[in-house]
Amino acid sequence: MIANTAAYHFVTIDAPQVLADRLVADAEAAGLRGSILVAAEGLNLFLAGSPAAIDAFYDALHADPRFSDMRVKTSFSEHQPFARLKVKVKDEIISFRRDDGQPLDYPRAPAVDPTTVQRWLRQGHDDHGKPVVMLDTRNVQEIEYGTFKDALVLPIDKFTDLPAALAPHRQALKDSTVVSFCTGGIRCEKAALWMQNDGMDNVLQLDGGILGYFEEVGGEGYEGRCFVFDERVALDSQLQPLVDQPLPEPKPSAF
């Protein structure tokens, strides 16, 4: 059995390359595969391996005060979904290129937990009687596999397209409670923050994203699967992969 993890955390990293070198050494020693993205703004991880190796890796990472409260979302598969281990140091751990959407520069945008969203979707409005609009901040490739019922979806190919794609809908959204969501929450950290700073005071982010919603309440209100960027392709509401088959052994990596 393989444990598949997704985790991110926005925190100041003074020496991104030093952290990247340490984490890739730890991951290689544990036999993990996946990706490690490090930037001055934080850390973004997609790693898979044996449950014991995964636990040991994240135990060590959580021992670092910078990442002590980093949430790790875990699902399981029969086979390893990553071909190899990759590490990159980047300008952003998720590229948005908006100064008004940078989590280290502003307080976190308001969030709503999955249980509350489930209840709102059941009753058809929020606790103040306002209509709820689920706003999908993912790209069209991901949305093809599934999204929340009646969600507002945007014709974007990459996350940086979101501000322009949202513009025609802003007036129609002003009297609703907008719940923005993505796969694991990282994009919504920036999207909800940017929307709030750009004058949309009715926007919340779904805490933990779709995967957190599946993990906490299941798939009620969601139609289809959640696309993931590895060989599993997509996960159902029970976090089971669409594809679960062995990969060829990885070739030596230059990373």
pLDDT tens figures, 200-217: 999 999 999 999 999 999
Q: What total number of domains does the chain contain?
A: 2
User: In the structure encoding, which two tokens stand for residue 95, read together?
Assistant: 């590229």
Claim to verify: residue 108 and residue 79 sit in the same structural domain: no
Contact between 132 and 120 under an 8 Å Cβ cutoff? The reply is yes
Claim to verify: residue 194 and residue 135 sit in the same structural domain: yes
| Residues with catalytic roles | 182
Q: Read off the CATH number of the domain in which 145 is found.
A: 3.40.250.10
**Last-in-domain residue among 46, 69, 89:** 89
8 is a domain residue:
yes
252 is a domain residue:
no
pLDDT at 155: 96
Claim to verify: residue 17 and residue 139 sit in the same structural domain: no
Claim to verify: residue 115 and residue 231 sit in the same structural domain: yes
Query: Whole domain around residue 229: which residue ranges?
Result: 99-235
Q: In sequence order, which residues have a C-beta less than 8 Å from that of residue 119 and are 6 or more positions away? A: none
Specify the amino acid at residue 71: R
Claim to verify: residue 147 and residue 203 sit in the same structural domain: yes
Claim to verify: residue 11 and residue 75 sit in the same structural domain: yes
Claim to verify: residue 60 and residue 161 sit in the same structural domain: no
pLDDT over 90 percentage in the chain = 96
9 is a domain residue:
yes
pLDDT digits (tens, 9 = 90+) for 18-74: 999 999 999 999 999 999 999 999 999 999 999 999 999 999 999 999 999 999 999
Claim to verify: residue 103 and residue 187 sit in the same structural domain: yes
Instruction: Provide the b/e sequence for 199-237 (b: ≥16 CB within 10 Å).
Output: ebebbbbbbbbbbbbbbebebebbebbbbbebbbebbbb
63 is a domain residue:
yes
Q: What's the pLDDT band for 249 if we cut at 50, 70, 90? A: low
Q: Which residue has the tokens 């990969």?
A: 247
| pTM score | 0.94
247 is a domain residue:
no
pLDDT digits (tens, 9 = 90+) for 177-190: 999 999 999 999 99
